A and B are shown apart, each in its own frame.
Chain A
């Protein structure tokens, strides 16, 4: 019976770790989202300095979580999000106000996909 208890414990541990992973992903993407929202508002007001600072904060949070993202998330999703970050950064430096909303939307979509894929639902499981 000892083996069965160990297996049940291990399975519970895995389910617990999966739940923690969802919380971790939610928190990470929420922190980035707050900074992106601020950056977008500032950019639309043509305050590109504030927008760049807010964007950098969000990007730093993403980069600091590299070990987490590489271990727990699918690498193509991580790469796609990183590409979207760099595209947006380039547009912010160019102060291209017209192209920025689409770039923000693309990055948000990439991050939402990552978050969505971490939540068990009929859509993500099947």
Chain B
């Protein structure tokens, strides 16, 4: 049991260090420790299931150990910026004021093709128009255009932009979501009136009905089964 714990800790930190050295581009959208945890747990859990000669506890102990490591590392990195840098690294600026930072590109093993692909996926192709492109610690590239290239907002145009708030589902596939209805400060009588206005006899005939903060309704009736 003690050996299982020791081995788990060694493998966990070895993977963490390896993935840290490999760099952010390997991660996708997971943080480093989440990626390592995901890679390990899936394999650990399967062994005692496949091999009856391995006691189940030899599968459970590493999983619990990894869970504890993950929670502790997440907690410690929230408290300490230095520790966070050690475990997860720092965001890397790949484009600064319209110029590619080649040293950071090399450090992150990020190719020009990958950079261009990421930029295109975000609807940008002209590097000169990008003020900053930052490779985050989870491997995502965030692109910040120059203010002159940023999408214009209603505030900049001086146009009124009514705040309609969050749309909340009140009927989902024929079922009334009472908790959501109560959360919006509405009741069954209000709902019955709205159903009648939209030509439905009851909630069972409704596929989806949402209400936003301004009280506006989206209503879709269930299609007839053919």
- Provide the bound-state CA to CA distance between A108 and B41, in Å: 36
In this assembly, does B1 line the interface, its C-beta being within 8 Å of a C-beta of chain A? yes
12 pairs, CB–CB < 8 Å, chain A vs chain B: A3-B71, A6-B71, A7-B67, A7-B70, A8-B72, A11-B72, A14-B5, A18-B2, A18-B4, A74-B54, A124-B3, A125-B6
Looking at the complex, which one of B2, B4, B55 makes contact with A71 (CB distance below 8 Å)? Answer: B55
Q: Which of A27-35, A57-65, A94-102, A113-121 contacts B (4 or more CB under 8 A)?
A: A113-121
Given A21-B2, A74-B58, A75-B53, A11-B65 contact (CB < 8 Å): yes
Given A7-B68, A7-B71, A8-B72, A75-B57 contact (CB < 8 Å): no
In this assembly, does A19 line the interface, its C-beta being within 8 Å of a C-beta of chain B? yes
Given A75-B52, A75-B54, A125-B10, A4-B2 contact (CB < 8 Å): no
Contact A71 B57 (CB under 8 A): yes
Contact A10 B68 (CB under 8 A): yes
Contact B3 A118 (CB under 8 A): yes
Given A3-B71, A8-B68, A14-B64, A74-B3 contact (CB < 8 Å): no
Q: Which of chain B's residues have a CB closer than 8 A to the CB of A124?
A: 3
Q: Which residue of B lies closest to A10 (CB)?
A: B68
- Provide the bound-state CA to CA distance between A40 and B21, in Å: 57
B28 to chain A, nearest CB (A): 25
In this assembly, does B7 line the interface, its C-beta being within 8 Å of a C-beta of chain A? yes
B5 to chain A, nearest CB (A): 6
Size range of the interface on B?
20 to 34
Contact B55 A73 (CB under 8 A): yes
Contact A4 B72 (CB under 8 A): yes
Interfacial residues, chain A to chain B (CB-CB below 8 A):
1, 3-4, 6-8, 10-11, 14-15, 17-19, 21-22, 70-76, 117-120, 124-125
- Provide the bound-state CA to CA distance between A125 and B8, in Å: 10
Q: Which of chain B's residues have a CB closer than 8 A to the CB of A15?
A: 2, 5
Q: Which of chain A's residues have a CB closer than 8 A to the CB of B61?
A: 14
Give the interface centre of B1, B6, B54 by most chain A CB atoms within 10 Å.
B1
- Provide the bound-state CA to CA distance between A125 and B2, in Å: 9
A28 to chain B, nearest CB (A): 14
- Provide the bound-state CA to CA distance between A8 and B70, in Å: 11
Contact A14 B65 (CB under 8 A): yes
Given A71-B55, A125-B7, A118-B68 contact (CB < 8 Å): no
Looking at the complex, which one of B2, B68, B71 makes contact with A19 (CB distance below 8 Å)? Answer: B2
In this assembly, does B151 line the interface, its C-beta being within 8 Å of a C-beta of chain A? no
Contact A21 B54 (CB under 8 A): no
Contact B53 A120 (CB under 8 A): no
- Provide the bound-state CA to CA distance between A15 and B3, in Å: 10
Q: Which of chain B's residues have a CB closer than 8 A to the CB of A76?
A: 53
- Provide the bound-state CA to CA distance between A20 and B142, in Å: 51
Contact with A along B60-99 (1 / 0, CB 8 A): 0100110111111011100000000000000000000000
B14 to chain A, nearest CB (A): 12
A57 to chain B, nearest CB (A): 26
